[in-house]
Amino acid sequence: MTTPYFRPRRLRTTPALRRLASETRLHPAELVLPLFVREGASEPMPIQSMPGVVQHSLDSARRAVTDAASAGIGGVMLFGVPTVRDAIGSGATDPDGILNVATRALVEEVGDALVVQTDLCLDEFTDHGHCGVLAADGRVDNDATLMRYQEMAVAQASAGSAVLGLSGMMDGQVAAVREALDDNGFEDTSVLAYSAKYASAFYGPFRDAVQSTLEGDRRTYQLNPGNRREGVREAQLDIDEGADIVMVKPAGSYLDVLADVAAMSDIPVWAYQVSGEYAMIEAAAANGWIDRRRAVEESVLSIRRAGADAVLTYWAVELAAWLTEERA
């Protein structure tokens, strides 16, 4: 038999060689932990559909961000779970609303040890569960919603949020929020645009996490899962409007879109490994069908390999500990 000129498997023969030849690596600083903070909670409250994830009290959220900072991850993304909701999501702009209160508390707790970010969307705060203000005919009023987003942006920046995560998928939301921030002296507050956010079935457990009141769906403003080019177009629009970072969400089922956006973007591209992705791996691992640690690591690595500069994942702190252990 003639020996092939090159055998690719030579670079896979030992752990040290595989590590040296790896094209993509994970680092704790590239991970962001989503956190849910529930108004009035006195202790962490488990989320049934997301084993290991909780709705935090303020005290447990403080401990969680301290642990996250110690783990060396890049940041946390905060979501508020209010006790009272109304048609316009008043709690989102109330300085004493749970998200703004939590932001101030956690920024005070960790300072610059990690980046405290906030979700800028109305769905957690509205009694109808949509991401915006409803018109008389029941449709989401895009432009009226932008005005609420501007108010939210100022409230969140005032509370100390360093990065505002615009997840509502309203047309023109980046330009509107950027204008409001700049006009109110928050030129240094960054805008993370959830640019390619798809109307996905994988958000199901998240709605448990925020106790969503949504009836119907969000297909009139979130992207059609069949559309690849549209995700790139949305990202380009947000870049043109002044976004500092663009996002693809969900991550695992949209790696093609993520790769396309990463190829065209000259600003950072992030991806959100959403609740359904988390829940599926946890459920399969609990049944002994997959190796949990390997599946977690591989799922996040694939998102980085597709082009994400950072990944929002509920495994951020645990994964960071594994990565630190491996380096040691």
Q: What is the DSSP string of 85-112?
A: -BTT-GGGT-TTSHHHHHHHHHHHHHTT
Residues 64-108: tens digit of each pLDDT: 999 999 999 999 999 999 999 999 999 999 999 999 999 999 999
pLDDT at 205: 85
Distance separating alpha carbons of residues 202 and 225, to the nearest angstrom? 11
Half-sphere exposure of 289 (CA within 13 A, CB side): 7
Distance separating alpha carbons of residues 190 and 173, to the nearest angstrom? 14
Q: What's the mean pLDDT in 138-150? A: 96
pTM of the model: 0.95
Residues 164-195: tens digit of each pLDDT: 999 999 999 999 999 999 999 999 999 999 99
What percent of the chain is modeled with pLDDT above 70? Answer: 99
> Chain centroid to CA 239: how far?
18
Q: What is the DSSP string of 259-318?
A: HHHHHH-SS-EEEE--HHHHHHHHHHHHTTSS-HHHHHHHHHHHHHHTT-SEEE-TTHHH
Active site positions, annotated: 197, 249
**Residue 207 pLDDT level (bands cut at 50, 70, 90):** confident
* Cβ atoms within 10 Å, residue 213: 14
Residues 237-275: tens digit of each pLDDT: 999 999 999 999 999 999 999 999 999 999 999 999 999
Q: What's the mean pLDDT in 226-233? A: 98
Residue recorded with tokens 């055998």:
7
Phi, psi of 69 (to 5 degrees): -65, -40
Distance separating alpha carbons of residues 192 and 164, to the nearest angstrom? 6
Distance separating alpha carbons of residues 233 and 218, to the nearest angstrom? 19
- The mean of the pLDDT values for the chain is 95
Least confident range of 56-60, 106-110, 184-188, 210-214: 210-214
Query: Residue 135 is encoded by which pair of tokens?
Result: 């018109």
Least confident range of 10-19, 116-125, 276-285: 10-19
Residues 270-284: tens digit of each pLDDT: 999 999 999 999 999
Distance separating alpha carbons of residues 58 and 36, to the nearest angstrom? 10
Conformational region of residue 68, where left means phi above 0, alpha means psi within -120 to 50, and beta covers everything else: alpha
Q: What's the mean pLDDT in 222-232? A: 97
Contacting residues for 137 by C-beta, under 8 A, at least 6 apart: none
Domains of the chain: 26-327 (3.20.20.70)
Structural contact between residues 65 and 109, judged by C-beta atoms closer than 8 angstroms: yes
pLDDT at 3: 65
Does residue 222 carry a pLDDT above 90?
yes
Distance separating alpha carbons of residues 203 and 252, to the nearest angstrom? 12
- Residue 135's closest CA among 18, 236, 220, 56? 220
Does residue 48 carry a pLDDT above 70?
yes
Length, in residues, of the chain: 328
∠ CA 276-223-132, rounded to 5°: 90
Distance separating alpha carbons of residues 193 and 241, to the nearest angstrom? 10
